[in-house]
Chains A and B, each alone.
Chain A
């Protein structure tokens, strides 16, 4: 299954870097049923980490209650223009994806 790229924006101001990410993922809860009444199996991101120049700045675990195409925003100290921010997620089917962006 091909995964779609994330959109990551990172900007730094007064020594604090704000990261905003929009992740393309279905985030199926496993509670919905299709037109025939069959349960649609759960398919969601379980783990997501963000790193700045290789150092982890956020390690999160998601449940099924996170919206489809998850949005995430957080801030960390440090970071300079041009530094790399990378985000990696892993879903319950074992699929993973990493994308990175430069701090603008």
Chain B
């Protein structure tokens, strides 16, 4: 099985291979994940990202909060958290306006998982950080500006 896997990996890359593996039943269905939303992650502007996520006109909400430092000394490691008090929150995404690609991560929350996620992101420069939350069929958004003194994109 391992040899087969190597061969498959040699013949292609990325999603195509994963798709092939999943189709061949080599990845258990429970582990084979949903397709990575390429369009959303490669979108450059906020507007395009929102469109790719299917979020049209998200409403500003006080029930959604972005947590993070006011000033980040190191843009390579900026702790950011999102909490939502909206009942039935099923999706949370973190977007950084001025990064080369706005979308940093999205999280799908099955029932029973709290809308409270923390991670660390890279920020190229001072920017607004948005939390996009989906509850039911509606999208909500909150924002926080994080100032970066040293960019996180190397160079």
Contacting pair A29 B108 (CB below 8 A): no
Closest residue of chain B to A67 (Cβ to Cβ) is B120
Closest residue of chain B to A94 (Cβ to Cβ) is B17
Is A11 in the interface zone, CB < 8 Å from B?
no
A32-B153, A32-B155 known; A65+B96 contact, CB < 8 A: yes
Q: State in angstroms the CA–CA spacing of A46 and B37 once bound together.
A: 9
Contacts of B55 in A (CB 8 A): none
Q: State in angstroms the CA–CA spacing of A90 and B34 once bound together.
A: 11
A57-B110, A58-B107, A76-B112 known; A67+B100 contact, CB < 8 A: no
From A60, A71, A90, A93, B120 is in contact (CB under 8 Å) with A71
Contacting pair A31 B100 (CB below 8 A): yes
Is A13 in the interface zone, CB < 8 Å from B?
no
B152 nearest CB across to chain A (Å):
8
Is A7 in the interface zone, CB < 8 Å from B?
no
A29-B153, A66-B105, A66-B120 known; A94+B113 contact, CB < 8 A: no
Which parts of B9-54 form the interface with A (CB within 8 Å)?
9, 13-14, 17-18, 30-31, 33-34, 36-37, 41
Q: Report how many residues on chain A are interfacial, defined by Cβ distance under 8 Å.
A: 41
A32-B154, A54-B30, A67-B121 known; A61+B41 contact, CB < 8 A: yes
A16-B114, A90-B18, A92-B14 known; A61+B120 contact, CB < 8 A: no
Q: State in angstroms the CA–CA spacing of A12 and B34 once bound together.
A: 28
Which parts of B93-115 form the interface with A (CB within 8 Å)?
96, 99-101, 103-110, 112-114
A-B contact pairs, 30 of them (CB 8 A): A31-B153, A47-B33, A55-B110, A56-B30, A56-B110, A57-B112, A59-B108, A60-B106, A61-B37, A63-B41, A63-B104, A63-B105, A65-B99, A65-B105, A66-B121, A67-B78, A70-B119, A70-B120, A71-B79, A73-B81, A74-B116, A74-B118, A76-B112, A77-B113, A90-B18, A92-B14, A93-B14, A94-B13, A96-B31, A98-B31
Considering the complex of A and B, which 5 residue pairs feature the smallest CB-CB distances, nearest first?
A65-B104, A67-B120, A59-B108, A32-B154, A73-B118
